[in-house]
Amino acid sequence: MNFLLRSFALSLLATSGARAVGVARGQIKNFVTFGDSYTDIVNVGDGGTAWPVYASGYSDIALFPFAKSGATCSNNITFRPFPSVFESQLPAYFEEVSNGSLKLKPEETIYTLWIGTNDLGESALLTGDAVGFLPNVTNCMVDWVKVLYENGARNFVFQNMIPLELTILYSATGYFTKFWTFPRNSTEWSVFMNELVLTGNEETLLKLEALLPHIPDAHVAHFDSHGLFQDMFNHPSEFLNGTAPLNVTGCVNSCVFQVNDPNNSVCTLVNGTDRDSYLWFDELHPSEQADRIVAREMALVMEGKSSLWATWLS
Ligand SMILES: *[C@@H]1O[C@H](CO)[C@@H](O)[C@H](O)[C@H]1NC(C)=O
Ligand SMILES: *[C@@H]1O[C@H](CO)[C@@H](O)[C@H](O)[C@H]1NC(C)=O
Ligand SMILES: *[C@@H]1O[C@H](CO)[C@@H](O)[C@H](O)[C@H]1NC(C)=O
Ligand SMILES: *[C@@H]1O[C@H](CO)[C@@H](O)[C@H](O)[C@H]1NC(C)=O
Ligand SMILES: *[C@@H]1O[C@H](CO)[C@@H](O)[C@H](O)[C@H]1NC(C)=O
Ligand SMILES: *[C@@H]1O[C@H](CO)[C@@H](O)[C@H](O)[C@H]1NC(C)=O
Ligand SMILES: *[C@@H]1O[C@H](CO)[C@@H](O)[C@H](O)[C@H]1NC(C)=O
Ligand SMILES: *[C@@H]1O[C@H](CO)[C@@H](O)[C@H](O)[C@H]1NC(C)=O
């Protein structure tokens, strides 16, 4: 839509008294996170401080963390012995609400979900090891909004999946890592992963939009992690600021698995201010600087300001 048309549409919305889109500035006092190692603040994936801790600091919004490393959306669909969103994280949250240890006012609280890396990846959809399929996973992701809404939640940020084919584990040029030590065709992995992520992200957006009429008074933001990480990959100098040459293909903590000598991975660790030159921390996880960028943009969304990477759907 061009600018004039867009402003016209927006002013029509305003004059027709349509329901406000998004949260108001200063409305949100708390955020509750769900997800995997990209969001876990204890078992941190980026080698430093996780994005929710930065986002809380940048925005002065209190953090209530439920995301856990290794998680998938539901172990019914992609079985992995880790605390999934549906069988572990949501039950933990509901338990704290019902026993009175967590008292959050719905209008002051926003819920975030960043999930999918483990659902789509090795030992799951990518390698044919899941019980269900991509549509099951995307239903599950969107059901997270529905289930929380039915229990009183009103404000949500849905973070879509990053271009996982750009991580070393899933790239066409990826080496053997501790994450996957069996033979694989890395070209096929990257092609298939790209398809899974793009299709999955499109499905969740369509399914979220279809859910909106059923969740009146909810505010749902769609956070385009995919676009943000693709932009960091394409234009690293706009985001990365370390003291080493900027690097979006290697990682801070690389371990090259030796096929003929499996107990002897050759590891290299980048230290200090050089780390902020990297997009990836290891073969699967974003770096701390990438996470600061995620935090900065997520803070803007939660504060009711605008982020280039987020769209309020309602
Ligand atoms: C998982 O399976 C159990 C047992 O069939 C069922 O009760 C539960 O609702 C399922 N969870 C999801 C998220 O589908
Ligand atoms: C409420 O449940 C949580 C999670 O199981 C537990 O950690 C906490 O101690 C419980 N609080 C009370 C007051 O029972
Ligand atoms: C996946 O979705 C299909 C089609 O809706 C359904 O028949 C199947 O039971 C689902 N599988 C799981 C594991 O949820
Ligand atoms: C890997 O897959 C690509 C794409 O299907 C194919 O062109 C290539 O020949 C395969 N490589 C090997 C070693 O099988
Ligand atoms: C990126 O980092 C990796 C790991 O530290 C290194 O092997 C590689 O040479 C670097 N690439 C560039 C383009 O600097
Ligand atoms: C690697 O280490 C394990 C446990 O320490 C040992 O059982 C195994 O034999 C070792 N493998 C090789 C190839 O040295
Ligand atoms: C980074 O620090 C580790 C641990 O102190 C050290 O082993 C490693 O050599 C350092 N890396 C570089 C590139 O200096
Ligand atoms: C890079 O920028 C972040 C803010 O995004 C800052 O916290 C960090 O200290 C900077 N890193 C370096 C090496 O200057």
Say if 168 falls within a structural domain: no
SS (H, E, C) 81-142: CCCCHHHHHHHHHHHHHHCCCCCCCHHHEEEEEECCHHHHCCCCHHHCCCCCCHHHHHHHHH
C-alpha 71/C-alpha 306 separation (Å) is 30
262 CA closest ligand 6 atom index: 13
Total domains in the fold of the chain: 1
Looking at residue 262, what is its pLDDT? Answer: 77
The alpha carbon of 263 and the centre of ligand 6 are apart by a number of angstroms equal to: 6
Q: What residue owns the CA closest to ligand 1's atom 7?
A: 76
Is 272 among the domain residues? no
Does some domain include residue 300?
A: yes
Is 216 a domain residue? Answer: yes
CA of 262 to the centre of ligand 6 (A): 8
Structural domain of 79: 25-163+183-233+288-306
Q: Is 203 a domain residue?
A: yes
> What pTM was estimated for this model as a whole?
0.92
Whether residue 2 has pLDDT greater than 50: no
Q: Which residues line ligand 3 (CB under 6 A)?
A: 76-77, 131-133, 135-136
CATH number at residue 73: 3.40.50.1110
Does residue 243 lie within any of the structural domains? Answer: no
Convert the pLDDT of each residue in 61-102 to its tens digit: 999 999 999 999 999 999 899 999 999 999 999 999 999 999
| Any domain includes 6 | no
Kindly state whether residue 282 falls inside one of the protein's structural domains: no
